[in-house]
Amino acid sequence: MPRLFETLTTPTRAERRAASVSLRLLISMRWVAVVGQAASLLVVRYALGFPLPVALAGTVVAASALINLGNIVLRRTERRLAEPEATLYLAYDVLQLGLLLFLTGGLENPFAILMVAPVTVAATILSRRSVIFLSLLAICAITVLAVAHWPLPWRGTSPVLPPLYIFGIWAALVLSTMFIAAYAWSVASEARRLRDAYAATQLALAREQRISAVGALAAAAAHELGSPLGTIAVVAKELVRELPPDSPYAEDAALLLSQSDRCRTILAELAHRPEAEGASPFTLLPISALVEAAGAPYYRPGDVRVIYATTTNTGEEPLVARSPEIMHGLGNVIQNAIQFARREVSVTSAWDRGMVTIEIVDDGPGFPAALLPRLGQPYLSGRGGEAQQHMGLGIFIAQTLLERTGAEVGFANLPEGGAHVTITWRRAQLEARDERHPRRELAT
């Protein structure tokens, strides 16, 4: 039994994303159960006058209250329980409720429906294995209650329900336990996946912002250090020219001049790196240049060629702020195309007076037809191999970030094979984002 419990409650790698459980929450829910159970016992025994084993049933309820008080006194209620602890906590609730029903009529007791409650709670906060374990435990308890229990409290002789009716109650509770557990777990699991995916999106955006900030700092440092280095170089040149060749300081002066020239070269290269050029929030790029800058970090010379092109357009090329959302979103889509392409990736920019469109096409296997309608949801499997889940999350992050800028992202497969991603902005909306940044410089 311990080995079975360990097997059923040990989450898989995918299920480790499930959140730990607040002890305070479980204590609060158990207090609600204790108050409800105590109130029901008192009303049935003293208000309605039904004979009831109050002492035994009250002891069962009191045990839950004492465990709650012990948790409050001996443990920090703000701590979060690990998966096995939370499973044991709810397993006790199943057994406690089963024992209470055993003393008060078993499945003939109308409150037998509450056997579903602990399993439902588990399905919303625990992993699939823990939910399966608790569901099996609840089904076992329901089965025992169907065949063995104390008589239902009643005035006079207790009514004898037909075995077929008891079987119907048993079947209803078992099916309800399985259905509600499965449905609640599916809904909660989807919510957890979305939560984790949005957290990953925020981390990706924060990383892009940090890269942008570092680039801006590097560009500012290069600019600010340029003047003092220029002064040092001028002084070093004067020293080299004025000092006689046989001076003991001539070699030091020449070294100072060469090192100052080297520093100026390094700072010039740093200032003209792509990440430094586009790091400033005031920098505007033509859309075609921005697309190339977004895909540049993912290109590796080899078998796959990346072709950037523009189609015949009307109107001036739009100037777009190099925002972290656009850079990371476009970069993710281009990276995905490069990863699955066989020989070539084509990235085409187009614009007119109303719209701006980016089309990314690869000659790989394309998106799986069964998953195509669901692309954009996190943690999808597709396009094969170890990168399946990462592909699903990467596309979700890219689509979420691009949609934050007002883009519409579409996914399709080409008739001859290969994936086709279309990213479209309303030009007025895309350029309206740029109006929030003063146009202090133009990077081309």
More confidently predicted of 198 and 420: 420
Dump pLDDT digits (tens) for 376-412.
777 665 544 444 444 467 787 788 888 888 899 999 9
Indicate the pairing of strand 283-286 with strand 319-321.
Answer: antiparallel
Percent of the chain as helix, strand, coil, to the nearest 5 = 65, 10, 25
Q: Is 53 exposed, middle or buried (0-12, 13-18, 19+ CB in 10 A)?
A: middle
What integer is the mean pLDDT of 173-178?
96
> Residue range 126-146: average pLDDT?
94
Both 273 and 244 in one domain: the answer is yes
Q: Lowest-confidence range among 64-73, 85-94, 214-223, 378-387?
A: 378-387
Tell whether 214 and 260 lie within a shared domain.
Answer: yes
Are 262 and 292 in the same domain?
Answer: no
- Between 177 and 239, the more confident residue is 177
Number of domains observed in the structure of the chain: 3
Q: Which of 139, 161, 183 is the last residue of a domain?
A: 161
Element (H, E) at 412: strand 408-413
Average of per-residue pLDDT values in the chain: 80
Judged against a pLDDT cut of 80, whether residue 314 lies above it is answered with no
> Given this model, what pLDDT does residue 392 score?
60
The verdict on 348 and 423 lying in the same domain is yes
Range of the domain at 415: 283-442
Q: What mean pLDDT do residues 11-30 have?
A: 68
Question: Is the pTM of the predicted complex or chain greater than 0.75?
Answer: no
pLDDT at position 207 is 65
Which residue blocks in 126-273 are alpha helix, DSSP H?
Answer: 128-147, 163-242, 250-271
Residue-wise DSSP of 154-184: -SSSPP---HHHHHHHHHHHHHHHHHHHHHH
Task: Check whether 290 has a pLDDT greater than 70.
Answer: yes
| 292 falls within a domain | yes
Greater confidence (40 vs 235) lies with: 40
Boundary of a domain, candidates 133, 161, 189: 161
- Give the CATH number, domain containing residue 432: 3.30.565.10
Residue 180 located in a structural domain: no
- Residue 28 and residue 108 share a domain: yes
Residue 187 belongs to some domain of the structure: no
Domain assignment of residue 199, yes or no: no
Same-domain check for residues 258 and 295: no
Q: How do 283-286 and 344-351 pair as beta strands?
A: unpaired
Q: Which residue has the higher pLDDT, 389 or 193?
A: 193
DSSP state letter for 353: S
In 3D space, the residue among 98, 168, 99 whose CA is nearest the CA of residue 139 turns out to be 98
| 307 shares its domain with 398 | yes
Question: What pLDDT is recorded for position 143?
Answer: 96
Q: What are the C-alpha distances in Å from 118 to residues 31, 32, 36, 204, 296?
A: 13, 12, 14, 37, 53
Report how far residue 305's alpha carbon sits from residue 303's, in angstroms, rounded to the nearest whole number: 7
Q: Which residues contact 314 (CB under 8 A, 6 or more apart)?
A: 352, 353
Percent of all residues in the chain with a pLDDT value above 90, rounded to a whole number:
34
Judge residue 279's burial from the number of C-beta atoms within 10 Å of its C-beta, 0-12 exposed, 13-18 middle, 19 or more buried. Answer: buried
Return the pLDDT at 90. 94
Residue, of 406 and 196, whose pLDDT is higher: 406
Residue positions counted in the chain: 444
- Domain boundary residue, one of 108, 143, 161: 161
Considering only residues 10 and 226, tell me which one the structure prediction assigns the higher pLDDT: 226
- pLDDT tens-place string over residues 345-381: 999 999 988 899 999 999 988 888 888 887 877 766 5
243 and 290 within one domain: no
In a domain, 345, yes or no: yes
Q: What is the pLDDT of residue 385?
A: 43
Q: Judge whether 198 lies within some domain.
A: no
Q: Does one domain contain both 10 and 145?
A: yes
Same domain, 68 and 119: yes
Residue 8 resides in a domain? yes
The answer as to whether 194 is a domain residue is no
Q: Name residues whose C-beta falls within 8 Å of residue 67's C-beta, 6 or more positions apart in sequence.
A: 30, 92
| Residue 40 pLDDT greater than 90, yes or no | yes
One-letter amino acid for residue 100 of the chain:
L
Asked if residue 6 and residue 97 are part of one domain, the reply reads: yes
Q: 326 and 428, same structural domain? A: yes
pLDDT at 301: 75
The confidence score (pLDDT) of residue 239 equals 82
